[in-house]
Amino acid sequence: MKYLEEIDGVGAKTCLFLNKLGINDIADLISYYPKRYDVLKRSDMRNVVDGEKVIIDGVVDGQPTIINLSRKLKKIIFRICNDKNMYNVAVYNQIYLFNELKYGMSIIVIGKYERLKNTIVASEVRIGRLPDVPKIESIYYTTSGLSRKMLAKYINKALNGDFECIDYIPSYLVERYNFRDKKWSTFQIHNPDSVISLKRARQRIKYEELFLYLLKINFMKYLNGNDKNAVVKEFSDNDVETFISSFDFELTSDQIITVNSIKSDLRSERRMNRLIQGDVGSGKTIVAFIASYMNYLAGYQTALMVPTEILAYQHYENAIKLFSKFGVNCALLTSSISKKERKELYDEIRLGKIDLIIGTQSLIQDDLQYFNLGLIITDEQHRFGVRQREKLKNKGVFPDVISMSATPIPRTYALSIYGDMDVSNIKTKPKGRKEVITYFKKNNDILDVLRMMKKEVDLGHQIYVIAPSIDGEDNSIDNVKKLTEKMTLAFGKICKIGMVHGKLDNDEKNKIMNEFEMGKISILISTTVIEVGVNVPNASMIVIFNANLFGLSTLHQLRGRVGRGDIQSYCILLASDSCERLKMLERCSDGFEISEYDFLNRGEGDLFGVKQSGDAVFKLANIKKDYKMLLRVRDDVDEFMNVLFESSEYQYILNYLGDCCDLS
């Protein structure tokens, strides 16, 4: 069996419903696992407490009655006799039961027991009796038009047919973990004999999902390693050294290691696909510029794509400063330039007059053509979707790719999200960088906070103030507009105060950011628009209101806005109540450790500020919950890669990999 129509009773209409659930063939149907399980077990009515969920069976006593509560809301009431005890049953809006239920009929009632009224408010009434031994029932998520019961029926018909079920776990691993086979496991997941069997079956299926996933990544990496399509870029070490020695600082050891990796990536005939992870301020951007310079020396264009216009502008300014003596032509491409300017810029890019193009999403507009794009760098890359990255990639002739992220993530997780990338970590801090001192304060201590702020302003330093929203009704949440008023009241007489947020137009935003950078504005109140990349070394304090509303990684990034010069800097986290998560930030300043903590304690969506659908590739496994298994699978896959090509036994796995990985 392969197609849904081969199942008895499944016609075109049912197929449509199944398609809606993402089920397109028998294989999909069989791996459409239950959303959850219920245990069908007779409740001991002597021991139930008020409001508890109960399951009982018995016979209908007397005729049901309909009560019209309103035009839309109807209730059916009847009595059920169980073991000589009588209970009232109330069911809402399942009017069909009125005709179905007959005096003396055996039924099962599932619902909540209200002791005072001796009534079960039923969520479900079924005809029949409960099994003598408790039964585990699979509950499927379905769509209107297709009942759970019907869906379960089709799944079971498929399971009992002759479906193809290939075991992808190599036999020596099956032995190592004492797994049952896949067919058994699939059966058990849909119709568990016991909780123990169910657990065992789930482990088996999860393991295979993770195994195949990591195997695909490793296989792609292997192919990539043999992908000789990339351009070999030629440039001299001396020229690169001259550029690096023009900086007024020395590279940290991790920066040097990363630069060297990039150097050999560019020179190799294999395409570079490298992720650079490091805390804000660890010096990723400068590494990106060095890479751009190597690429320039080799004669190719570089595109640097960032998530916000503010950041694009800042990178552009830095690039001009760095490259002015080195002949690299830089351009800034944002959505705020005029049509005429855009056309001119497009022409220059197409003709190869621009070497480094910095911009936002505008870098991937369809009508923009490059002369010879050789390197693509995305900053804070997790903010771009995979599709956008692909779009950019397609614009060059086999361009090399560097992605930068200030939200470091555990290695395995990076692997599972970014797939076949190589990863460079920049952990060492630039010399002389002072640790930012972090304080957690309760809202009641606001006077303390204001005093601390005053001290910094008096020293001529600058301050960021962050609020979670721009404006809003909710009085318990501070917003940018209200805070601006308050700060003006407190500090308006001694210094200039500015405000930026996402609703301002770009000109205004840039103007204010500029004034802050120039030191004209002392206190800048903003939303998280400044979250990424902004660099003002004279800023020595960041005060974050309602800090509890942000993810730890976001807070850590925000904290990275300060401590960029050689002055002692502070981060103040404000919240109404004491909070363990926030206290963790007082003690810890290592972005890798923080993301690990975040990762293990919160949903992975929060980790990135945007929802990652990393888990959508798994039907059963969950990267966070099954993290330990993932680590084990990773080692197993590494081991397996050594034998994959050795034995004909694994030919079917190679076929599978060839089918899923695009070999073109």
What are the two backbone dihedrals, phi and then psi, of residue 654, each rounded to the nearest 5 degrees?
Answer: -60, -40
CA 370 – CA 394 distance, rounded (Å): 11
Query: In the chain, count of helices (H) and strands (E)?
Result: 23, 20
Instruction: Choose the one of Mg ion, ligand ADP, none that binds residue 251, judging by a C-beta under 5 to 8 angstroms depending on kind.
Output: ligand ADP
Q: Is 283 or 359 the residue whose CB approaches ligand ADP more closely?
A: 283
Nearer to Mg ion, 285 or 595 (CB): 285
Neighbour-count burial of 241, counting CB atoms closer than 10 A to its CB (0-12 exposed, 13-18 middle, 19+ buried) = exposed
**Binding partner selected for residue 652 from Mg ion, ligand ADP, none, CB under the kind-specific 5 to 8 Å limit:** none
Report the residue number, 285 or 527, with the smaller CB distance to Mg ion.
285
Amino acid at 356: L
CB 623 within 8 A of CB 153: no
Q: Give, for 342, the enclosing helix (H) or strand (E).
A: helix 339-350
Looking at the Cβ atoms of 155 and 280, the one nearer to ligand ADP is: 280
321 versus 353: smaller Cβ distance to ligand ADP: 321
Distance from C-alpha of 76 to C-alpha of 94, rounded to nearest angstrom:
8
**Residue 564 touches which member of Mg ion, ligand ADP, none, C-beta under 5-8 Å by kind:** ligand ADP
Query: 């076929």: which residue's tokens?
Result: 655
Query: CB under 5 to 8 A by kind: which of ligand ADP, Mg ion, none does 255 bind?
Result: ligand ADP
Q: How many CB atoms lie within 10 A of CB 97?
A: 18
Of 29, 2, 34, 1, the closest CA to residue 14 belongs to 29
Determine the longest span between alpha carbons in the chain, in angstroms.
Answer: 97
Single residue of 408, 410, 533, 563 touching Mg ion by CB under 5 A: 533
Smallest distance from Mg ion to CB 280, Å:
6
Residue nearest to Mg ion (CB): 533
Judged by beta carbon, residue 594 or residue 623, the one nearer Mg ion is: 594
CB 532 to ligand ADP: min, Å? 8
Question: Which partner in ligand ADP, Mg ion, none is near 645 (CB below 5 to 8 A by kind)?
Answer: none
- Minimum gap (Å) between residue 281 Cβ and ligand ADP: 5
Site residues (vs ligand ADP, CB under 6 A): 249-252, 255, 278, 280-286, 406, 430-431, 535, 564
Q: Which is nearer to Mg ion, 399 or 533 (CB)?
A: 533
For residue 31, the minimal CB distance to ligand ADP (Å) is 42
Tell me which of Mg ion, ligand ADP, none is bound by residue 535, counting a contact when its beta carbon lies within the kind-specific cut-off of 5 to 8 angstroms. Answer: ligand ADP
Q: What is the 3-state secondary structure (H, E, C) of 198-230?
A: HHHHHHHHHHHHHHHHHHHHHHHHHHHHCCCCC
Closer residue to Mg ion (CB): 203 or 535:
535
Which residues 280-309 are close enough to bind Mg ion by CB under 5 A? 285
Residue 396 site contact among Mg ion, ligand ADP, none (CB < 5 to 8 Å, cut-off depends on kind)? none
Shortest distance (Å) from residue 591 CB to ligand ADP: 10
Q: Between 255 and 292, whose beta carbon lies closer to ligand ADP?
A: 255
CA distance 137 to 9: 23
Distance CA 234, CA 215 (A): 34
Name the token pair of 289: 């510029």
8 A C-beta contact, residue 322 and residue 242 = no
197 binds, among Mg ion, ligand ADP, none (CB under 5 to 8 A by kind): none
How many C-beta atoms lie closer than 10 Å to residue 264's C-beta?
10
Residue 410 interacts with, from ligand ADP, Mg ion, none (CB under 5-8 Å by kind): none
Rounded to the nearest whole angstrom, what is the least distance from the CB of residue 380 to Mg ion in the complex? Answer: 7
Nearest to 278 by CA among 406, 419, 150, 123: 406
Decide: is 407 part of the binding site for Mg ion (CB under 5 A): no
| Residue 130: alpha-carbon gap to chain centroid | 43
CB atoms inside a 10 Å sphere around CB 453: 22
Least gap, CB of 586 to ligand ADP (angstroms): 22
Listing DSSP states for 39-62 in one string gives EE----TTSPPTT-EEEEEEEEEE
Q: Which is nearer to ligand ADP, 34 or 281 (CB)?
A: 281
For Mg ion, which is the closer residue by CB, 233 or 389? 389
CB of 525 to ligand ADP, least distance (A): 22
Interacting partner of 431 out of Mg ion, ligand ADP, none (Cβ under 5 to 8 A depending on kind): ligand ADP
Measured from the CB atom, the residue of 284 and 382 that comes closer to ligand ADP is: 284
Among ligand ADP, Mg ion, none, what binds residue 399 when CB lies within 5 to 8 Å by partner kind? none
Q: Please report how close the Cβ of residue 251 comes to ligand ADP at its closest, in angstroms.
A: 5
Q: How far is the CB of 533 from Mg ion (least distance, A)?
A: 4
Question: What three-state secondary structure class fits 167?
Answer: coil
On whether the CB atoms of residues 58 and 39 are closer than 8 A, the answer is no
Residue 540 binding partner per list ligand ADP, Mg ion, none, with a CB distance cut-off of 5 to 8 Å that depends on partner kind: none
CA-wise closest residue to 382 among 401, 422, 409? 409
Q: Which does residue 382 bind out of Mg ion, ligand ADP, none, counting CB within 5 to 8 angstroms by kind? A: none
81 Cα distance to chain centroid? 52
CB of 431 to ligand ADP, least distance (A): 6
Contacting range for Mg ion; rule: CB under 5 A; set: 195-203, 259-267, 438-446, 529-537: 529-537
Distance, in Å, from the CA atom of 49 to the CA atom of 382, rounded to the nearest integer, reads 49
- Of 119 and 514, nearer to ligand ADP (C-beta) is 514
Q: Based on CB atoms, which residue is closest to ligand ADP, 425 or 479?
A: 425
360 binds, among Mg ion, ligand ADP, none (CB under 5 to 8 A by kind): none
Nearest alpha-carbon partner for 249 in 117, 432, 506, 50: 432
Cα(489)–Cα(502) distance, rounded to whole angstroms?
24
Residues with Cβ within 8 Å of residue 607, at least 6 apart in sequence:
407, 409, 551, 553, 595, 598, 599
> Closest separation between CB of residue 406 and ligand ADP, Å?
6
Least gap, CB of 224 to ligand ADP (angstroms): 26
Q: Tell me, what amino acid is at 617?
A: V
CA-CA distances (angstroms) from residue 285 to 276, 295, 403, 429, 589? 10, 15, 11, 14, 20
Name residues contacting Mg ion, limited to 424-463 (CB under 5 A). none
Q: Output the smallest distance, CB 314 to ligand ADP, in A.
A: 9
Please state, in angstroms and rounded to a whole number, the distance separating the CA atoms of residues 591 and 554.
Answer: 10
> Which residues of the shown chain bind Mg ion in the complex (CB under 5 A)?
285, 533
